[in-house]
Structure 1
Amino acid sequence: MRYRSEDEDSGRWDGFPFRDGDVVISTRSKSGTTWMQMICALLVFRTAELPAKLSTLSPWLDWLVTPRDEVWAALADQQHRRFIKTHTPLDGIPIDARAHYVVVARHPLDMAVSMFHQSRNLDRARIAELTGGPVSTYQPAPIKEALLRWIDRDVSPAEAMDSLPGVMWHLSDAWQRAASSDNVLLVHYADLSADLDAEMRRIAERLRFEVPEEVWPSLVDAAGFARMRDRAADLAPDPAGVLKDPNAFFRRGASGSGRELLTDEEFAHYLDRTSELAPPDLLAWLHR
């Protein structure tokens, strides 16, 4: 399937020349993309002192802001093990036996709240300038109203990847693939938050990274939310200046902000909606 938005096109993956060991990080917006990119960077370079900005080390291949040929050329020039960002579900990109695919999941309500705040931090005139499209007339509703609309919006995943149906399609597809394929790994945002050391070690093992024991403490420390926020200028995904404030990208990092906004009745309605969109075993893992 081909996925498109005002600034993305999964067709840019067509014919991409993979290498042995490539890591593709496939996430929904505000679900831990930058966190997983940082973890992969630390596992690749085995030091907290990265050789370049994170967005340079791990390009967003689908993003229309940077010409496709330029992104491909930059990736071709990389000598280190490559880790590539995408927001495209796995059914929209090539699945290559030489590559590993990491899908990060976050509680959808927390993702939606974080996305709400992120949308207010985007310079939409700058995005239009870079993509050649019209300036968006987006005007955010109050946050709770926006969240309730997001829960009820009925749209196809291909039309709106960050909608609730889009989130559930992305994760359901990955859930099914991970059950039968060793090169698809699901990671839960809550597990990264609860025990970052243990989860980073699990990721390293699954992706076949070898890391000397003596450097682990420094890598885990560098991947912590507070340390990453302190380095926002180098780590925020903003190579083209589309964020009004890079520091605001790392806003909270905790879980539970979505549930806090809803009454018990509204939360029960959300659970009913998700039960229509994803299998019970995935939802039990996702909502724990």
Structure 2
Amino acid sequence: HSTANHAWYDALNKTPGLVGPEIGPPHEDPVAYFRHWLENDGAPFWPFWENVRSWWEIRGLPNVLMVHFADLKRDFEGELERIAAFLEIPIPEDSRARIIEHCSFDYMKCNAAASVPLGGAFWEGGARSFIYKGTNGRWKDRLPSDLSDAYDQRAEQELGKDAAAWLKEGRQVR
């Protein structure tokens, strides 16, 4: 929510029936923000570990498919096939190239207003600022090693070794 604007905060905080404290802008220092997030279980949003754990626990159900961004980046066409097979949707050969193009990061960034909620009205800089860099693992260059290690330890403690490894790097599960 680092690029969220006043309209976004108003929609969250001024809506009748608000439960819990209001959400304010994030700390300007990403390291301080992440430290707070880690120490407060995903604050200011939902309990992070329980959210991941709940999905991990039901990953074997026939109506659940775990898809990781890193896997999409690593092998988009393979993941496209896997998702289509899961949904039992054939991919017409004459549509394949267009699907791949429309799902690419560059295409989505250039056409962000069509896919971002409310066309990006809730973000400073509009929809293009919502779709950020399209990379995975940026924490390796941003977080001090003690904080990265603390995250890894907490992830394994909360989720177990397999789920923590999947959360960090992806790789298909089923």
Q: Give the TM bin, normalised by the shorter chain.
A: 0.7 to 0.9
Once residues 154 and 218 of structure 1 are traced to their aligned partners in structure 2, the CA distance between those partners, rounded to angstroms, is 40
Once residues 119 and 143 of structure 1 are traced to their aligned partners in structure 2, the CA distance between those partners, rounded to angstroms, is 9
Structure scoring higher RCO (CA < 8 A, sep ≥ 6) equals 2
Mapping of 1:65-84 within 5 angstroms?
none
Once residues 285 and 137 of structure 1 are traced to their aligned partners in structure 2, the CA distance between those partners, rounded to angstroms, is 29
User: Does 2:37 correspond to 1:153?
Assistant: no
User: Does 2:8 correspond to 1:127?
Assistant: no
- Contact 2:9–2:23 (8 Å) recurs in 1: no
2:157: which partner in 1?
A: 276
- Contact 2:112–2:119 (8 Å) recurs in 1: no
- Contact 1:229–1:250 (8 Å) recurs in 2: yes
**Residue type matched to 1:151 in 2?**
L
- Contact 1:229–1:247 (8 Å) recurs in 2: yes
- Contact 2:9–2:24 (8 Å) recurs in 1: no
Deviation of 1:267 (Å)? 1.4
Q: Residues 273 and 211 from structure 1, CA distance in 2 versus in 1: closer, same or farther, beyond 3 angstroms?
A: same
Deviation of 1:128 (Å)? 5.6
- Contact 1:120–1:140 (8 Å) recurs in 2: no
Once residues 12 and 80 of structure 2 are traced to their aligned partners in structure 1, the CA distance between those partners, rounded to angstroms, is 37
Deviation of 1:177 (Å)? 1.0
* TM-score, scaled to structure 1: 0.51
1:200: which partner in 2?
A: 80
1:138: which partner in 2?
A: 24
Identity percentage of aligned residues:
23
Once residues 263 and 240 of structure 1 are traced to their aligned partners in structure 2, the CA distance between those partners, rounded to angstroms, is 32
Deviation of 1:268 (Å)? 1.2
Unaligned runs of 5+ in 2: 170-174
Once residues 218 and 241 of structure 1 are traced to their aligned partners in structure 2, the CA distance between those partners, rounded to angstroms, is 27
**Residue type matched to 1:205 in 2?**
A
Once residues 83 and 9 of structure 2 are traced to their aligned partners in structure 1, the CA distance between those partners, rounded to angstroms, is 38
Deviation of 1:144 (Å)? 1.1
Q: Secondary structure at the match of 1:145?
A: helix
* TM-score, scaled to structure 2: 0.80
Once residues 211 and 120 of structure 1 are traced to their aligned partners in structure 2, the CA distance between those partners, rounded to angstroms, is 36
RMSD over equivalenced CA pairs, Å: 2.6
Once residues 211 and 282 of structure 1 are traced to their aligned partners in structure 2, the CA distance between those partners, rounded to angstroms, is 30
2:105: which partner in 1?
A: 225
Q: Residues 281 and 125 from structure 1, CA distance in 2 versus in 1: closer, same or farther, beyond 3 angstroms?
A: closer
Mapping of 1:248-287 within 5 angstroms?
248-287=129-168
Q: Residues 277 and 186 from structure 1, CA distance in 2 versus in 1: closer, same or farther, beyond 3 angstroms?
A: same
Unaligned runs of 5+ in 1: 1-117
Q: Residues 174 and 230 from structure 1, CA distance in 2 versus in 1: closer, same or farther, beyond 3 angstroms?
A: same
**Residue-by-residue CA offset, 1:222-249 (whole Å, 9 max, x unaligned):** 1001100111111111269333322101
